[in-house]
């Protein structure tokens, strides 16, 4: 155990400090303090030594330099067990500091308050952050209290152990100190490097400023080499939202190996069809939901010729992606100056997905699983026909790319109804059915895919009433048998895949 004999206190926010001062006085712990903290301690009726008494220097440069001195940092960093350190301590008249209490300048609060650049810069703490790091480094001998959030922990130690500390306690506070230090530095880095994030440049390659973010009041950047995935033939600069849809479109089209055309809107496929040729695939993809196609992002895995381009040119869309274009097709598509025409260079996107979350990152493997017959568990007495299986596989590919909760309805390898982003699976199914009926599709003979299991039998009951003829889902609900029993009773083939495809 180590006894606290001298404590250095340098805090911006004085809230919560009073009970600590009372305990330090009770335990006869010497207090060394700085500037405003020193004045507060004296005003509260406690004794303290100004840091100038150790350094023989006043606070200079309008308070920018107060504690940055060997007398202070030597008192914190000297190793009590090291003979040479102890000789230096005697030679330079340095006294031990056993505890450091710091609460940093409120950089992030100043930034959030919209203060001027000069005000924000002045709230970059130098002495405080140095004290925290020094005390945390020497945690074997020194207790660090790196913010007011640790005051209650310190008070508990002072009350119960009367100024003695265990190595485990000091190490715990040291780890928290370095977390506070790294977070503080990252906030400063993010502010100073806004729009010029060198770490992201180094990780992903080039950097391009976008027109704006998800909304016009948001700024945005793209870090990486866009040309690795796409080449732009024509049109205005791609936007933040365009890039999100482009990424989603490439992920989907990569799952299909025959002539397929898809239309994306707000990260969801609203139309998709697979046919023997790209012309028919386009017509039937558009027929899936011609209203939502307005202003959408189009993607195909086939080269666009003049005939297809002439059909596509009849509607308003923002972006088109294809592996290639005939010269005559490009001439037709380029008649709208802002229309973004992209050629797919590589649809094989990275196998890892990264997104920001809280004060860190979430990283996961990309969902590349494609179920086939070897994964299927034909769970019901009635088995699906070959035609049903083809539509079930098609629908299951599509539902993987819809936001959860998601339902995809397919017939003859065409999306005829989609429900996505709903908070209940029944609502997703109702939405999909309503979409299909709204555009005149006959649900008899259609196939249904769900991105996750049905928790109750209500979804299969609704599907049966609508005329849906076959179902594919992951299975895994504690009430799976209810759905199986209903399907058996009504001769609906249902397949379990064992794989969920949530997309949040």
The set of catalytic residues is 137, 266
Strand, coil or helix: what is 361? strand
Give the whole-angstrom CA distance, residue 466 versus residue 158. Answer: 71
Phi, psi of 440 (to 5 degrees): 80, 20
Spatial contact of 309 and 288, defined as CB atoms under 8 Å apart: no
Written as six digits, the tokens of 108 are 């992030």
DSSP 314-327: TS-EEEEEES-B-H
Closest listed residue to residue 253, CA positions, set 285, 290, 293, 294: 285
Give the whole-angstrom CA distance, residue 362 versus residue 353. Answer: 8
Closest listed residue to residue 305, CA positions, set 284, 277, 275, 285: 277
Q: In what order do the strands lie in the sheet with 415-419?
A: 377-378, 494-496, 470-473, 447-450, 407-410, 415-419
Give the whole-angstrom CA distance, residue 388 versus residue 396. Answer: 12
Spatial contact of 344 and 322, defined as CB atoms under 8 Å apart: yes
Closest listed residue to residue 237, CA positions, set 215, 200, 209: 209
Spatial contact of 272 and 288, defined as CB atoms under 8 Å apart: yes
Spatial contact of 475 and 453, defined as CB atoms under 8 Å apart: yes
Which residues are CB-neighbours of 314 under 8 A, at least 6 positions away? none
DSSP 100-155: EEEE---HHHHHHTT--HHHHHHT--SHHHHHHHHHHHTTTT-EEE-SGGGHHHHH
Closest listed residue to residue 322, CA positions, set 346, 294, 301, 308: 301
Closest listed residue to residue 11, CA positions, set 108, 176, 151, 128: 128
Strand, coil or helix: what is 91? helix
CA distances to 271, 274, 373, 474 from 376, rounded to whole Å, are 26, 22, 5, 9
């Amino acid at each position: 155990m180590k006894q606290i004999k001298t404590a250095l206190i340098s805090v911006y926010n004085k809230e919560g400090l009073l009970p600590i001062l009372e305990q330090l006085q009770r335990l006869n712990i010497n207090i060394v303090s700085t500037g405003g903290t020193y004045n507060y301690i004296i005003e509260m009726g406690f004794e303290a030594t100004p840091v100038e008494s150790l350094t023989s220097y006043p606070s200079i440069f309008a308070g920018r330099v107060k504690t940055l001195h060997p007398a202070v940092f030597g008192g914190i960093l000297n190793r009590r067990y090291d003979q040479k350190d102890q000789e230096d301590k005697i030679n330079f008249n340095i006294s031990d500091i056993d505890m450091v209490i710091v609460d940093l300048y409120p950089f992030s609060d100043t930034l959030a308050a919209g203060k001027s650049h000069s005000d924000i810069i002045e709230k970059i703490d130098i002495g405080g952050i140095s004290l925290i790091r020094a005390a945390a480094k020497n945690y074997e001998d020194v207790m660090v209290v790196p913010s007011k959030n640790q005051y209650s922990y310190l008070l508990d130690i002072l009350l119960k152990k009367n100024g003695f500390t265990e190595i485990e306690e000091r190490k715990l506070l040291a780890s928290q100190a370095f977390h506070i230090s790294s977070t503080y530095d990252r906030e400063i880095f993010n502010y100073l490097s806004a729009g010029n994030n060198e770490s992201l440049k180094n990780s992903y390659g080039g950097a391009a400023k976008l027109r704006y973010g998800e909304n016009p009041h948001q700024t945005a950047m793209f870090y990486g080499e866009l040309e690795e995935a796409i080449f732009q033939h024509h049109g205005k600069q791609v936007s933040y939202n365009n890039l999100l849809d482009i990424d989603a479109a490439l992920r989907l089209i990569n799952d299909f190996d025959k002539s397929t055309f898809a239309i994306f809107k707000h990260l969801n496929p609203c139309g998709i069809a697979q046919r023997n040729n790209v012309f028919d695939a386009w017509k039937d993809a558009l027929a899936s939901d011609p209203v939502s196609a307005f202003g959408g992002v189009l993607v195909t895995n086939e080269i666009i010729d003049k005939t297809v381009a002439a059909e596509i040119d009849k509607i308003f869309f923002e972006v088109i992606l294809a592996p290639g274009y005939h010269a005559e097709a490009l001439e037709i598509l380029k008649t709208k100056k802002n229309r973004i025409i992209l050629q797919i260079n590589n649809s094989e996107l990275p196998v890892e997905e990264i997104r920001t979350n809280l004060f860190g990152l979430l990283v996961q493997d990309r969902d590349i699983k494609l179920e086939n017959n070897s994964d299927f568990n034909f769970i019901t007495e009635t088995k699906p026909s070959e035609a049903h299986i083809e539509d079930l596989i098609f629908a299951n590919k599509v539902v993987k790319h819809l936001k959860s909760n998601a339902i995809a309805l397919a017939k003859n390898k065409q999306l005829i109804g989609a429900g996505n982003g709903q908070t209940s699976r029944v609502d997703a199914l109702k939405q999909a059915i309503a979409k299909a009926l709204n555009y005149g599709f006959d649900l008899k003979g259609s196939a249904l895919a769900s991105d996750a299991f049905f928790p109750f039998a209500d979804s299969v009951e609704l599907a049966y009433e609508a005329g849906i003829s076959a179902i594919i889902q992951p299975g895994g609900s504690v009430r799976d048998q209810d759905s199986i029993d209903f399907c058996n009773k009504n001769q609906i083939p249902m397949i379990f895949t064992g794989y969920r495809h949530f997309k949040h």
